[in-house]
Structure 1
Amino acid sequence: MPKNISRYLREFLENLKQSKGRTEKTIENYRFYMSRFIDFFGDKKPDRLTVDTIKRYRKWLGELIDARGEPLKKNTQNYHLIALRNFLRYLQSKKITTLSHREIKLDQINMKKPSVLGKTDLERLLDAPLKDKTAGKNDTLSNHRNKAVLELLFSTGMLVSEIAKLKKTDINLNKNELSLLIKKNKQKTVPLSEQARYWIKQYLNLRKDSNPYLFIPHDKRAGKNKDKGITPRTVQRIVNKCAKSAGLQKNITPHSFRHSYTLSMIKSGVSVENIKKTLGLSNDNSSRYC
């Protein structure tokens, strides 16, 4: 007998964790977006969903007000639709009668391409951490960490979430490479540049802690997080702070490194297919970089 959506949702979220290897943050986001859909539609059986349901849900999302008293942005509305689409795809894989996930189309959004770092700007940005004198008591540790983070961003094109979850055991300085868990039980080997290797080694040599993470907090709150790494938001703050310190006027984000890395690979003659494989890009979003 068919179950209500909430029952299937628990199974779907468990599948994301066990089979797909999604992070806790991703699973929480799916839970939040799907709870919004249940608020709208009710906890009914999946076979009650129709094309008209999706039309009305889109309208409902467009009229929804966020915590700041503002309408939901288009990309936020898309996140809700993506969660529902993937949930329906899961139900169909289990042969459960429901609306086809192909009936959910996303709103087209004009995405701004990240700023490209020219050679001069890049040099100024990479030099900024060691010239920074505002980090407080642990300025040497923080500045060396920030330098290593920037070098790693530029030389690998990694995502902030990937950098934040790196552990010391993921790095092999003898082989100039790191191992990255991209899916459950699936590793990807990423080569390190000499500069990234050098500054990671310098940073680790300064540390006297037993924290397993490669990059850790060094501010006054660090004592409360002895076994935790930095967050993706911290990586973003590092980039913003160093860009400001370097006097760069353009909007520099971690994705600026990813975009610059991609362009440097293209100029070096690396094929688009190999770039997509290295960055873990799908055909849907590769055009943004390639």
Structure 2
Amino acid sequence: MKWEHALKDYQHYLKIERGLSANTITNYSFDVEKLVLWLEEHEVTANPISISEEQVQQFIYAIAKKVNGRSQARIISGLRGFFNYLVFEDYRKTNPLELIEAPKTGRKLPDTLSTSEIDALIAAIDLSKPEGERNRAILETLYGCGLRVSEVINLRLSDLFFEEGFIKVTGKGNKSRFVPIAGITQKYIGIYRDQIRSHLDIKKGHEDTLFLNRRGRQLTRAMIFTIIKQLSEICGISKKISPHTFRHSFATHLLENGADLRAIQQMLGHESITTTEIYVHLDRSHLRKVVEEFHPRRR
């Protein structure tokens, strides 16, 4: 079995069986391609079925000298998934990474913004320019709904259900969820939609896209990163922030104010509650308050 055939089958499995997005499939494929490239460079003759644990281990040792622990752990995880698939399909009897441990990387806690910092960033937007109203609506949506940047740029007019108080969000793996949207966020989206967007020369194929650039096309991820970076410089915020910082702040502020972790999980679109639990580590005082309020021995 050739590597390209095995990888193509694996990509098909990830898309059809697991419903993963194209970006995720590409990232998983990179891990396998790194192994194949290393085999070719070192003239190691091995196919997906014959490659041994020792050969894979040599590859892991080699990349450990070039990448940090977090990247190394991700590559090991990606390769383990690939070989698990081959075992599942009876191409192999064992997974050559079964006994290989990923390095302990620790859990990196996300940066968050205070409400005053978020207010300052939004206040720094120049509303005299047409894109100002758009940028305010974007930041309010990022923070008010806890969306990923990819979810914001793909938001459509037909996803807005303002009367019901929700927006429809398409997340990872093309999975949809409904997220509550506050009246203030609806207000700023409405101003942009009715007063700015309606006057744009909207290009074909972008008629339903909510947030557009000046040329009437969908915004890029990079553009939103740039908008936030420029605003943070104006405000003198030294933290390294990105669109995802608003998502982290959304979850953290909800938790600090007593929101249920399961509800936050649903709004963020996390498949596992374990992913959402990282926010508990940001503010352990929340756990103490829960015990003080709800435990029968609190008095």
Match of 1:59 in 2: 61
Q: Does 1:86 align with 2:90?
A: no
Counterparts of 2:68 and 2:102 in 1: how far apart (Å)? 13
Stretches of structure 2 lacking an aligned partner (at least 5 in a row): 281-299
Q: 1:261 aligns with which of 250, 254, 257?
A: 250
Q: How does 1:134-145 map to 2 (within 5 A)?
A: 139-140=129-130, 142-145=131-134
- Alignment-mate amino acid for residue 158 of structure 1: L
8 Å contact 2:38–2:59 — kept in the other structure? yes
**Matched letter for residue 22 of structure 1:** L
Matched, 1:129 2:125: yes
Question: What's the counterpart of residue 221 of structure 2?
Answer: 232
Distance (Å, rounded) in 1 between the aligned partners of 2:153 and 2:98: 34
Matches within 5 A, 1:1-290: 3-41=1-39, 44-63=46-65, 71-97=66-92, 98-99=94-95, 102-130=98-126, 139-140=129-130, 142-182=131-171, 186-205=175-194, 206-207=196-197, 208=200, 209=202, 211=206, 212-218=208-214, 222=215, 227=217, 229-281=218-270, 282-290=272-280
CA 1:6–1:259 in 2, change beyond 3 Å: closer, same or farther?
Answer: same
Task: Work out the CA distance in 1 between the residues paired with 2:139 and 2:87.
Answer: 43
Measured in 2, the distance between the counterparts of 1:168 and 1:35 equals 39
Q: Verify the 8 A CA contact 1:116 1:259 in the aligned structure 2.
A: yes
Change (3 A) 1:184 1:123: closer
The structure whose Rg is larger is: 2
Secondary structure of 2:111's counterpart equals: coil
- CA RMSD of the aligned region, Å? 2.7
Residue type of the alignment partner of 2:58: R
Tell me the alpha carbon deviations over residues 33-79 of structure 1, each in whole angstroms, 9 at most, x when there is no partner: 3211111235743333443233212212134xxxxxxx434333333
Contact kept in structure 2, 1:157 and 1:261, CA below 8 Å: yes
Q: 1:128 is matched by which residue type in structure 2?
A: A
Equivalent pair of 2:53/2:97 in contact (CA under 8 Å) = no
- Matched letter for residue 6 of structure 1: E
Decide whether the 8 Å contact of 1:20 with 1:183 is kept in 2: no
- 1:283 and 1:94 map into 2 onto residues whose CA distance is 29
State the 1:189 CA deviation: 0.6
The TM-score, its normalising length taken from structure 2, stands at: 0.77
Query: Structure 1 residues 252, 49: CA separation in 2 closer, same or farther (over 3 Å shift)?
Result: same
Take 1:195 and 1:104, find their aligned partners in 2: how far apart are those partners? 51
With over 3 angstroms needed to count, the CA separation of the structure-2 counterparts of 1:102 and 1:202, relative to structure 1, is farther
Q: Secondary structure at the match of 1:179?
A: strand
Letter in 1 for 2:159: D
Task: Evaluate the alpha carbon distance shift between residue 235 and residue 16 of structure 1 in structure 2; reply closer, same or farther with a 3 A threshold.
Answer: farther
Structure 2 Cα separation of the partners of residues 184 and 240 of structure 1: 28
Give, in angstroms, the shift of residue 184 of structure 1: 5.3
Shift of 1:193: 1.4
- When the two structures are superposed, what TM-score results if normalisation uses the length of structure 1? 0.79
- The one-letter code sitting in structure 1 at the alignment partner of 2:144 is S
* Structure 1 alignment gaps of length 5 or more: 64-70, 134-138
Q: 1:73 to 1:47 in 2, by over 3 A?
A: same
Superposition misfits of 4+ residues, deviation over 6 angstroms: none
Per-residue CA distance 1:186-229 (angstroms, 9 max, x = gap) = 421111111221111111121132523222223xxx4xxx55x2
Indicate how the Cα distance of structure 1 residues 164 and 4 shifts in structure 2: closer, same or farther if over 3 A, else same: same
Q: How many correspondences in the alignment?
A: 267
Structure 2 CA distance for aligned equivalents of residues 21 and 230 of structure 1: 25
